[in-house]
Chains A and B, each alone.
Chain A
Amino acid sequence: MLKIDNITMKFGGVVAVNQFNASISKGEIVGLIGPNGAGKTTIFNMITGVYKPTLGSIIYEVNENEEDITGLRPDKIAKLGICRTFQNIRLFKELTVMDNVFIGNHLRLDSGVFSAVLRLPKYRSEEREQFEKSRYLLEKVGLYEERDEKAFSLPYGKQRRLEIARALATDPKLLLLDEPAAGMNPQETQDLMEFIVDIKKEFKLTIFLIEHHMEVVMGICERIYVLDHGILIKEGNPLEIQNDQKVIEAYLGVE
Chain B
Amino acid sequence: MKNNNLIKSLIIIGLTIIALIVMNKFLDSYLKRIVNLCAIYIILGLSMNLINGFTGLFTLGHAGFMAIGAYTVAILTMPVAMKEMNFYMKPMVPFLLNLKMLEIPFLPPAASEFLWFIFALLMGGLLAALCGFLIGAPVLKLTDDYLAIATLGFSEIIRIVFTNTQSITNGALGLKGIPPRNHLLWAWSFAILTIIFMYSLMSSSYGKALKSIREDEVAARSMGINLFKHKVLSFSIGSFFAGVGGGLLAVSIGTIDPALFKFSLTFNILLIVVLGGMGNIKGTAISAIIITVAMEALRFLDEPINIGPIHTNALPGLRMVVFSLILMIVIIFKKDNVFKSTLQKARGRYAKDR
* Contact stretch, chosen from B38-46, B61-69, B198-206, B298-306: B198-206
Contact partners of A91 in chain B: CB under 8 A: 215-216, 219
Within 8 A of B (CB), among A124-146: 126-127, 130
Contact A113 B233 (CB under 8 A): yes
Identify which of B216, B233, B348 contacts A90 (C-beta below 8 A).
B216
In the complex where A116-B204, A123-B204 touch, is A92 in contact with B215 (Cβ < 8 A)? yes
Contact partners of B211 in chain A: CB under 8 A: 92, 94-95, 99
Contact partners of A166 in chain B: CB under 8 A: 223
The complex places the Cα of A84 from the Cα of B223 at a distance, in Å, of 8
Q: Report if B5 contacts A (CB, 8 A).
A: no
Q: Mark B186-222, 1 if CB is under 8 A from A, else 0.
A: 0000000000010011001110110110011011111
The complex places the Cα of A116 from the Cα of B201 at a distance, in Å, of 7
In the complex where A86-B219, A93-B215, A170-B223 touch, is A103 in contact with B209 (Cβ < 8 A)? yes
Q: Report if A122 contacts B (CB, 8 A).
A: no
In the complex where A113-B206, A116-B201 touch, is A75 in contact with B225 (Cβ < 8 A)? yes
Contact partners of B222 in chain A: CB under 8 A: 48, 50, 74-75, 78, 83-84, 86, 90
Contact B224 A107 (CB under 8 A): yes
Contact partners of B209 in chain A: CB under 8 A: 103, 106
Identify which of A75, A102, A117, A123 contacts B208 (C-beta below 8 A).
A102
Q: Report if A248 contacts B (CB, 8 A).
A: no
The complex places the Cα of A48 from the Cα of B215 at a distance, in Å, of 20
Most B Cβ at <10 Å: residue of A91, A117, A167, A170: A117
A122 to chain B, nearest CB (A): 12
Q: Which residue of chain A has its CB nearest to the CB of B227?
A: A75
The complex places the Cα of A109 from the Cα of B223 at a distance, in Å, of 13
Identify which of B208, B220, B221 contacts A73 (C-beta below 8 A).
B221
The complex places the Cα of A116 from the Cα of B221 at a distance, in Å, of 21
Q: Mark B334-349, 1 if CB is under 8 A from A, else 0.
A: 0000000000000010
Q: Report if B226 contacts A (CB, 8 A).
A: yes
Most B Cβ at <10 Å: residue of A75, A123, A130, A170: A75
Q: Which residue of chain A has its CB nearest to the CB of B218?
A: A90
Contact A92 B212 (CB under 8 A): yes
Q: How many residues of A contact B (CB 8 A)?
A: 36
Q: Report if A201 contacts B (CB, 8 A).
A: no
B50 to chain A, nearest CB (A): 12
B217 to chain A, nearest CB (A): 10
Most B Cβ at <10 Å: residue of A99, A126, A130: A99
The complex places the Cα of A94 from the Cα of B213 at a distance, in Å, of 12
Q: Which residue of chain A has its CB nearest to the CB of B344?
A: A94
The complex places the Cα of A131 from the Cα of B200 at a distance, in Å, of 16
The complex places the Cα of A246 from the Cα of B348 at a distance, in Å, of 46
The complex places the Cα of A73 from the Cα of B200 at a distance, in Å, of 30
Within 8 A of A (CB), among B294-316: none
The complex places the Cα of A167 from the Cα of B237 at a distance, in Å, of 29
Contact A75 B224 (CB under 8 A): yes
Contact A106 B221 (CB under 8 A): no
Q: Report if A8 contacts B (CB, 8 A).
A: no
A160 to chain B, nearest CB (A): 14
Q: Which residue of chain B has its CB nearest to the CB of A78?
A: B224
A157 to chain B, nearest CB (A): 19
Q: Report if A206 contacts B (CB, 8 A).
A: no
The complex places the Cα of A104 from the Cα of B220 at a distance, in Å, of 9
Contact B205 A130 (CB under 8 A): yes
Contact partners of A104 in chain B: CB under 8 A: 223
Q: Report if A105 contacts B (CB, 8 A).
A: yes
Contact partners of A204 in chain B: CB under 8 A: none
In the complex where A50-B218, A75-B225, A170-B223 touch, is A117 in contact with B212 (Cβ < 8 A)? no
Q: Which residue of chain B has its CB nearest to the CB of A163?
A: B219
Q: Which residue of chain B has its CB nearest to the CB of A79?
A: B224
Contact partners of B216 in chain A: CB under 8 A: 90-93
Within 8 A of B (CB), among A163-217: 166-167, 170
B346 to chain A, nearest CB (A): 13
Q: Report if A26 contacts B (CB, 8 A).
A: no
Q: Report if A10 contacts B (CB, 8 A).
A: no
Contact A75 B205 (CB under 8 A): no
Most B Cβ at <10 Å: residue of A79, A94, A103: A103
Q: Mark B118-148, 1 if CB is under 8 A from A, else 0.
A: 0000000000000000000000000000000
Contact A74 B204 (CB under 8 A): no
Contact partners of A86 in chain B: CB under 8 A: 218-219, 222
Contact B205 A105 (CB under 8 A): yes
Q: Mark A29-53, 1 if CB is under 8 A from B, else 0.
A: 0000000000000000000101000
Contact A92 B226 (CB under 8 A): no
List the 10 closest A-B pairs by CB distance, nearest first: A107-B224, A78-B224, A92-B215, A90-B219, A116-B204, A74-B221, A106-B209, A103-B212, A75-B226, A92-B212
Known: A103-B220, A106-B223, A167-B223. 19 other contacts (CB 8 A): A75-B223, A75-B227, A78-B223, A83-B223, A84-B222, A90-B222, A92-B211, A92-B220, A102-B208, A103-B208, A103-B223, A105-B205, A107-B224, A116-B201, A117-B197, A117-B204, A119-B200, A166-B223, A170-B224
A-B contact pairs, 23 of them (CB 8 A): A78-B221, A83-B222, A86-B222, A92-B215, A94-B348, A95-B211, A102-B205, A103-B209, A103-B212, A103-B220, A103-B223, A104-B223, A105-B205, A106-B212, A106-B224, A107-B223, A113-B206, A116-B200, A116-B201, A117-B200, A119-B200, A127-B205, A170-B223
